[in-house]
Structure 1
Amino acid sequence: MVWEEKAETMAEPYNQKYELSKDHVDQEEEDNSPIEEVRVTVSNTDDPSMPCNTFRMWFLGLMFTAIVSFVNQFFYMRQTQISIGYSVVALVSLPLGHLMARVLPTRDYTLFGRTFSLNPGPFSLKEHILIGTMTACNTSTAYAVDIVVLQDIFYGDKKPFIAGLLLVLTTQITGFALAGAIRRFLVRPAHMIWPSTLVTASLFRSLHASADDDDDDGRMPRMKYFLLVALGSFVYYWLPGFIFPTIGMISWICWINPDNIVLSQLTGSGGLGIGTIALDWSAASYYVQPLVTPWFAQLNILIGFIMVTYIMVPWAYYTNLWNSKNYPILSAALFKEDGSLYNKSEILDDSVLNQEKYVAYGPVRMDSFFALTYGVGFAGLTATVVHVVLYHGKEMVARWKSARAENEDVHSRLMNVYPEVPDWWYGLLFVITLALSLMTCIIWDFMPWWAVILALAIAMFFVLPVGIVQAVTNQQPGLNIVTEYVIGYFLPGHAIANVTFKTYGYTVNVQALTFTSDLKLGHYMKIPPRVMFMAQLTSTFIAGLINLATAMWLVHTRPDICTPAGYPFTCRNTNTFYSASIIWGAIGPARVFGNKDGALYSSVQWGFIVGALLPIPFWWAAKRFPHISWLKFVHWPVLLAATSNMPPALPYFYTNGLFLGFVFAFLLRRYRYDWWARYNYLTSAALDSGVAVCGLIIFFAIQSWEGKMPNWWGNPADEVFDHCPLGGANFYGQ
């Protein structure tokens, strides 16, 4: 599985010192976890006196929460996105924590009858974990921000800031309340592993073990390496980010004959991007994460990408399926049948569909790529369910029974030292967020009260089974398609209600499992639950506020934002979100994927059945022919999810990312394993950090003051940076 490979390598520096022999484990089974992967990754001891709820933790945790929330939201709205993740925060906060331990005064202070010190001793592992957790649970930008941006820009319905803030906070925090309800089943039982937390645990243990031992071995220290690579990334990104943007999308094959429509569509960066070279880390890394994703998973992504992008899409487009030639080969936009852009104002009255106007104006059309990715998405949903049942069904049942019995391992017994968060804390939080959700949706007319209850009911119904799947298999089936479908039939014609329902149903479920995963990490690392509760809740509130404030600041200060003329703030994800609001909400699934008012794409719903069937023969073959090793690596959920980000992602993001994956995840891992184990993850984190810092400086020091790079071949005035102007045109060059 994915986590096994990561945990094995990332834990190596720690295991060299703390490795337990198999005989020792057998002799003291009761004093360790029954799960081998946990035994070799997580310490079976604890020091309750280790400081964690400190001024240093709160200062650095809130500081990084604010920085990461701003940076990730800022870049979320740009053409190529950058996301600062867990590893970056873990690496950067470590020297800052040690610095504060050196310079802060050690005297005791008394406040409200409680005595504390700003500097209780050396910077501890538990402080470090809490700092990382405060930022990690908010690394992804708040999903509800897109609703606010959507209303402001695309629907012209400006809501007060408080309405957007309450929408963001309730969708983010309600999931936290649900995490409290399921923690007994998904956190304390030993067999609820949460594989991704083992990767994080091994990273932090490795950092602190290497810091204690000055683990150099004659090689460059990790921190020095990180700083040098980050500096190089910072200096280099001035080229694709400002001076020479053409190198970020070199469509060299298209240059042979840029006036040829087919060649442009196949090789241009705005088309299928065959041969396009991206000398831009932000483009090559964002969707594939080539230095982090295991090679077997990247192979599945590659096969799925080729199957959809290079086989299905050209076949559908050039055979003119659904009149595809009237539209670009790759676009998230919506069209009329003649290829002109679909004007939503012609069919909507205050964000609600006028059926008579819709019939008169004509049915919505989309390019074949967009339609096929919906079908592949349908297949991926059912394939995930069937794959998990076939490959992990017995294991899930056994572990569910184990969870119900609440069998405790050494980690649960060690956690008994710390007072648990009372159930009424989570219960009160749920009551408050439910009341605020109802108030927000009713007062500002996001959706009816019953829709709030139904959306939360869907999230609550799925949270435990989906959580068990994720805790055991590291796979998380998404509920976005289910929620869009449900409300699309209950409230057809209501665009904002559709996306709001999807956000409450989908995001609350995701947030609940994100928080639960962090609770499991705290469980492994022996973080007092009440401190973890306050850290998660406080950081989530601050992150939601900053996400929304950043988005609104950009919306109101950047001209033509979320349009091609607003480059680099083209809001690729928000545009896709907008198209989904039209397809699923304003028009509704019955008029797009059904048989009502000229619906054309009903055939893509066969994806549900195809996805359910695909894993079966491969599962049977793997059982029947166990000597054929490659069969066990065929992972249909990953394979079918390969193109789920397109659009807004572009194909050349994938090809360049997968090439880097071949170099780092396959070649270097196999033939330069020592280097790979020591520096691979640091390289990814350093490159991310350098690009993020450079991108911010370019914006605030130059672009926000209307400064521009002089136009030249590498920075053309028409902003067709790949010099392939017909890549985004339809088959007739329009």
Structure 2
Amino acid sequence: MATHYNEKGVEPVSDYGHQEIYDGKEKRDIYDVDVGVPNDHHIVDEVIQSNEIEATGHELEDLEGKMALLTPERTRKIIAELYKTHEHDQNFPRPILDRMKEYLADPAADHVDNEKEPNKLLAEMKLEAILATENSPYLEVRANVDPTDDVNMPSLTFRVLIIGTIFSGIGSFIDGLFLNRQPSVSISANVAQLVAYPIGKFMHRVLPARKFNTFGHEWSLNPGRFSKKEHMLITIMCNVSFVASYTGYIIPTQALPFFFDMSFARDFGYQILAALGTNFVGYGLAGLCRRFLVYPAVAIWPSSFAQIALNRAFHAETNEPVPAFGRIWRASQQKTFLIIFVCSFLYFFFPSFIFQALSYFSWMTWIAPNNAPLTYVTGTVKGLGVNPWPTFDWNMLNPNGNMTLTVPTFSFVNQFIGMIFYTVMTLIIYYKNAWFTAYLPINTNHTYDNRGKPYNVTRILNDEGNFDNEKYQQYSEPYMGAAYIVAFIFYFVMYGATVAYVAIYHRHDLKVGWKSAVKSFKKTFNKSTDEEDEDDLSEDVHYRLMKQYPEVPEWQYLIIMLVAMALGMVGLGVYPTHVSPAVVLFGVIMPIIVMIPCGLIQAITGIPIPLNVIAEFIGGAIVPGNANSLIYFKTYGYIAAYQALLFCNDLKLAHYLHLPPRHTFYMQIWATLVFCFVQSAIQNFIMGFRDVCTEDAVFGMSCPGSNTFFTSAVFWGTLGPTKLFGPGKRYNMMLLGFPAGFLLVGFFWGLRKLFPKNEMLRQAHPVMIAAGPAYWGAPYNMSYLIPNLYITVFSFGYIRKHYTAFWAKYNYIVAAAMPAGIAVSALVIFFALAIPKNGTIAIDWWGNNVISQGCEATGCVRLKVAPGEFFGNPKGSFT
């Protein structure tokens, strides 16, 4: 008889007998003995059909047979822990929390079910308790991650070492080389993940299965079929190396004569010490924070699911049909990925080469290109992007990383609310000419002099590259545009809100993390203890599965971090940097303080907290007048934290795929070493290009990042924040953003206390409200965020709610396929079309030229400076 599904993917409930859970060590029953509770299918049917538990029918059917084995006493313990953990978790469904609260407040809810008086609430709580402990409380996790593990599945193999090393080297070379090109070219790890699969399968077919014995360890060139663990381990290695090293900005800025002209920066020893120090400090920090940012179930790391879904698609052994939109969808995840990948690859030729106006679809400004007020509000490039349909280019949606279809709805909605305030504040400041902003473009992240020209920092430096006050007095104070000022304000709000939000809403997560860390510390120094682990109800199945593997102790990560710091200090001390090695110590203090609160926010919302502004602000205040000191403080204060959170994301990937921790540890270290040596080795080659880092550079090697890095280093290091934000200075009032962040969190906390049942207030996230302008503000704008909002609301808000099984099967496959197709297409366009045309990648016609016409191209200003005049304080009066 054919099975009939409803649109949530639910089929009729069948009678399942007692099942056992496999946690990796042994098959065991995580519940108490059978208490004779009848298994009422009618209650389960009602729960499934009512959408009260966010799960597919298959999941609930599989768990139904265990309901009779879970006593009311244990159910209450599990639900109490779940409620405590997820009370303020926007990713956790509110209806379930309300039902949990109702259950916990009613002791009579534990009465035993019987056929005459079925207890629907108790049945629902049992299902939720089993779902959360035997799998994950989040649909996103259950849709992509298997709750079982095969300890004998190959993980760290000869194939992984060869493929991962080669890919790491290629990715490091390409990303490092083209970092300095405008536009840049890069390869995403998704592309490597795609290519690694057929290579791994090929090696399985051709390599001999002969076994070897090395130092008592038996291994084989071909341990069996290419496994999903091998595939993910290669992907993690690529995640490490398919990025551009921060030293790619530092080295040219220090070495080239028209920047700081420091000849020692061309020495390979200095370059490799800087690279090793920067990257391995972050790796050590990531390992030390695992118990807060990787192990907890609440730390889901939304951005990781695209890679997990792609890995799952290639290794899935079953293909369940799912219903949606009135039909049954039978296409496998692998087939779906390949179709969307090809479509994305072909389509990107249009917005990137054939019809570039599809990217910057600023259609309202095309009506009147020279209408400045229209551009201020609606312009996609030079305006604030208030455009209901601003692009037809998926690549435009992700200027800060792959977020589309991975970041949850509440995160984008809160950011959108922040962007509304940002847009209104920017227009008010601009039209009131506050801080002389009306003389400057409204949407820019550059700084300007008192004639409205880009600020030339070299005009305030002496021959040694230090600040010269006399030259400064004869030149100009720096000025920022309206959008940049508002973005800075929200940066400060975001930092204050992050500290307050984590302290108020994540106290339980911090407590659990510290408890786990103390327990680990005791075990490390008291290995003979016979104390058994207590029953920790906060553990999900993935954490229990990972317990079967030998862990990497925290002291090993600590040693890596200390050695990396030592290497960084050696580089500063041995070479004539004129920077105290103590700057490394001061710099590392910052990520140590901010890693956990910022990491918790990112692990839950999918949005990183950018620390570059606070690092520049603090570094410039600590070592004023020394740009080189600021460079290193920023490197270890900001980049170390940034790298550490990337490593945490990779550790979560390994956690979800149940990779042995030591295998992940070894391969991350190896890939990081490959990355550091390759990118350091090509620095002098890059600086050997004719006219490199200038507008006349060959192959487009104009180094936009290094130029911005140099300006930022001088601006914040040489000029210093005190001249801009100090008492009585022009931008001092912007610092009110810090206390405003605390007040914003307190405001929403108070509202939630007054209206505890208001779902909108529960979904409000003050940090994300402030992160909206910080992420999507100047030089970006509303036009980059609006399409993400549309797509996310449609996917998470509509499809997930009405077609749960369909969403669980395909959402993250689309999220992986779209950027992978774009990345490959961009490479083909660059090598096949751009290089032969000396960097020109556009056809000369209206569809490509319209984006460079009128105010969208020039950035019209509201007030103009007459020839020979200036705005602001007169020369010689700058303090």
TM-score range, shorter chain: 0.7 to 0.9
- Quote how far apart the aligned CAs of 1:470 are: 6.3
- Quote how far apart the aligned CAs of 1:636 are: 1.1
Corresponding residue to 1:58 among 161, 164, 169 = 161
- Quote how far apart the aligned CAs of 1:528 are: 2.7
**How do 1:240-319 residues align onto structure 2 when only pairs under 5 Å count?**
240-268=351-379, 269-275=381-387, 277-287=390-400, 289-309=403-423, 311-319=424-432
Partner of 1:704 in structure 2?
A: 835
Is 1:653 aligned to residue 784 of structure 2? yes
Give 5+ residue unaligned stretches, structure 2: 1-51, 79-129, 323-328, 521-532, 866-879
C-alpha distance in structure 2 between counterparts of 1:285 and 1:191, whole Å: 28
The verdict on how the C-alpha distance between 1:205 and 1:15 changes in structure 2, with shifts beyond 3 A counting, is farther
Partner of 2:136 in structure 1?
A: 37
The question of whether the paired residues in 1 share the 8 Å contact of 2:177 and 2:682 is answered with: yes
Is 1:620 aligned to residue 777 of structure 2? no
**Stretch of structure 1 that moved more, 9-18 or 491-500:** 9-18
**How do 1:178-577 residues align onto structure 2 when only pairs under 5 Å count?**
178-183=285-290, 185-186=291-292, 191=296, 194-196=299-301, 200=305, 203=308, 207=312, 211-215=316-320, 219-268=330-379, 269-275=381-387, 277-287=390-400, 289-309=403-423, 311-349=424-462, 350-406=464-520, 415=546, 418-421=549-552, 425-426=556-557, 428-442=559-573, 443-445=575-577, 447-463=579-595, 479-523=611-655, 525-547=657-679, 557=689, 577=709
Partner of 1:155 in structure 2?
A: 259
**Stretch of structure 1 that moved more, 37-46 or 389-398:** 37-46
Partner of 1:713 in structure 2?
A: 846
Corresponding residue to 2:228 among 125, 129, 147 = 125
C-alpha distance in structure 2 between counterparts of 1:102 and 1:215, whole Å: 28
- Quote how far apart the aligned CAs of 1:557 are: 4.5
Q: Which amino acid aligns with 1:203?
A: I
C-alpha distance in structure 1 between counterparts of 2:599 and 2:391, whole Å: 37
C-alpha distance in structure 1 between counterparts of 2:784 and 2:671, whole Å: 32
- Quote how far apart the aligned CAs of 1:384 are: 1.3
The verdict on how the C-alpha distance between 1:356 and 1:511 changes in structure 2, with shifts beyond 3 A counting, is same
The verdict on how the C-alpha distance between 1:50 and 1:167 changes in structure 2, with shifts beyond 3 A counting, is same
The verdict on how the C-alpha distance between 1:33 and 1:582 changes in structure 2, with shifts beyond 3 A counting, is same
**Superimposed CA distance per residue, residues 269-295 of structure 1 (whole angstroms, 9 cap, x where no aligned partner):** 222233373222211233483322222
Corresponding residue to 2:862 among 714, 719, 731 = 731
- Quote how far apart the aligned CAs of 1:445 are: 0.9
Q: Which amino acid aligns with 2:259?
A: Y
C-alpha distance in structure 2 between counterparts of 1:233 and 1:561, whole Å: 32
The verdict on how the C-alpha distance between 1:241 and 1:199 changes in structure 2, with shifts beyond 3 A counting, is closer
Corresponding residue to 2:67 among 19, 23, 26 = 23
Give 5+ residue unaligned stretches, structure 1: 1-7
- Quote how far apart the aligned CAs of 1:317 are: 0.7
Give aligned pairs, total: 720
C-alpha distance in structure 2 between counterparts of 1:191 and 1:235, whole Å: 41
**Stretch of structure 1 that moved more, 698-707 or 202-211:** 202-211
C-alpha distance in structure 1 between counterparts of 2:682 and 2:590, whole Å: 30
> With structure 1 as the length reference, what TM-score do the two structures score?
0.85
**Stretch of structure 1 that moved more, 511-520 or 220-229:** 511-520
- Quote how far apart the aligned CAs of 1:308 are: 0.5
Q: Which amino acid aligns with 2:403?
A: Q
The verdict on how the C-alpha distance between 1:103 and 1:215 changes in structure 2, with shifts beyond 3 A counting, is farther
- Quote how far apart the aligned CAs of 1:260 are: 2.4
Q: Which amino acid aligns with 2:446?
A: A
Corresponding residue to 2:764 among 619, 634, 640 = 634
C-alpha distance in structure 1 between counterparts of 2:131 and 2:805, whole Å: 29
- Quote how far apart the aligned CAs of 1:112 are: 7.9
**How do 1:95-114 residues align onto structure 2 when only pairs under 5 Å count?**
95-108=198-211
**Stretch of structure 1 that moved more, 299-308 or 662-671:** 662-671
RMSD, matched Cα: 4.1
The verdict on how the C-alpha distance between 1:580 and 1:110 changes in structure 2, with shifts beyond 3 A counting, is same
Say which one has the larger Rg: 2
Q: Which amino acid aligns with 1:460?
A: I
The verdict on how the C-alpha distance between 1:608 and 1:142 changes in structure 2, with shifts beyond 3 A counting, is same
* Secondary structure class of the residue paired with 1:337: coil
* Secondary structure class of the residue paired with 1:329: coil
Partner of 1:3 in structure 2?
A: none
Q: Which amino acid aligns with 2:778?
A: P
The verdict on how the C-alpha distance between 1:656 and 1:471 changes in structure 2, with shifts beyond 3 A counting, is closer
**Stretch of structure 1 that moved more, 165-174 or 320-329:** 165-174
The question of whether the paired residues in 1 share the 8 Å contact of 2:377 and 2:384 is answered with: yes
* Secondary structure class of the residue paired with 1:116: strand
C-alpha distance in structure 2 between counterparts of 1:658 and 1:385, whole Å: 26
The verdict on how the C-alpha distance between 1:306 and 1:562 changes in structure 2, with shifts beyond 3 A counting, is farther
C-alpha distance in structure 2 between counterparts of 1:615 and 1:557, whole Å: 51
C-alpha distance in structure 2 between counterparts of 1:567 and 1:730, whole Å: 33
**Stretch of structure 1 that moved more, 673-682 or 74-83:** 74-83
Q: Which amino acid aligns with 2:715?
A: I
* Secondary structure class of the residue paired with 2:772: coil
Partner of 1:49 in structure 2?
A: 152
* Secondary structure class of the residue paired with 1:385: helix
- Quote how far apart the aligned CAs of 1:586 are: 1.9
Q: Which amino acid aligns with 1:160?
A: R
* Secondary structure class of the residue paired with 2:494: helix
- Quote how far apart the aligned CAs of 1:625 are: 1.2
Partner of 1:5 in structure 2?
A: none
- Quote how far apart the aligned CAs of 1:603 are: 1.0
C-alpha distance in structure 2 between counterparts of 1:334 and 1:397, whole Å: 44
The verdict on how the C-alpha distance between 1:216 and 1:446 changes in structure 2, with shifts beyond 3 A counting, is farther
C-alpha distance in structure 2 between counterparts of 1:87 and 1:10, whole Å: 29
**Stretch of structure 1 that moved more, 403-412 or 125-134:** 403-412
- Quote how far apart the aligned CAs of 1:488 are: 1.4
C-alpha distance in structure 1 between counterparts of 2:235 and 2:64, whole Å: 27
Corresponding residue to 1:643 among 760, 769, 773 = 773
C-alpha distance in structure 1 between counterparts of 2:511 and 2:700, whole Å: 49
- Quote how far apart the aligned CAs of 1:453 are: 1.8
C-alpha distance in structure 1 between counterparts of 2:496 and 2:250, whole Å: 27
C-alpha distance in structure 1 between counterparts of 2:371 and 2:597, whole Å: 52
The verdict on how the C-alpha distance between 1:206 and 1:512 changes in structure 2, with shifts beyond 3 A counting, is closer
- Quote how far apart the aligned CAs of 1:211 are: 1.9
Higher RCO (CA < 8 A, seq sep 6+):
1
Percent of pairs identical after alignment?
31
C-alpha distance in structure 1 between counterparts of 2:513 and 2:250, whole Å: 38
**Superimposed CA distance per residue, residues 608-647 of structure 1 (whole angstroms, 9 cap, x where no aligned partner):** 1111101212212212212221111111111111122333
The question of whether the paired residues in 1 share the 8 Å contact of 2:455 and 2:478 is answered with: yes
- Quote how far apart the aligned CAs of 1:418 are: 4.1
The structure richer in helix per residue is: 1
> With structure 2 as the length reference, what TM-score do the two structures score?
0.72
The question of whether the paired residues in 2 share the 8 Å contact of 1:261 and 1:726 is answered with: no
* Secondary structure class of the residue paired with 1:715: helix
Q: Which amino acid aligns with 1:687?
A: M
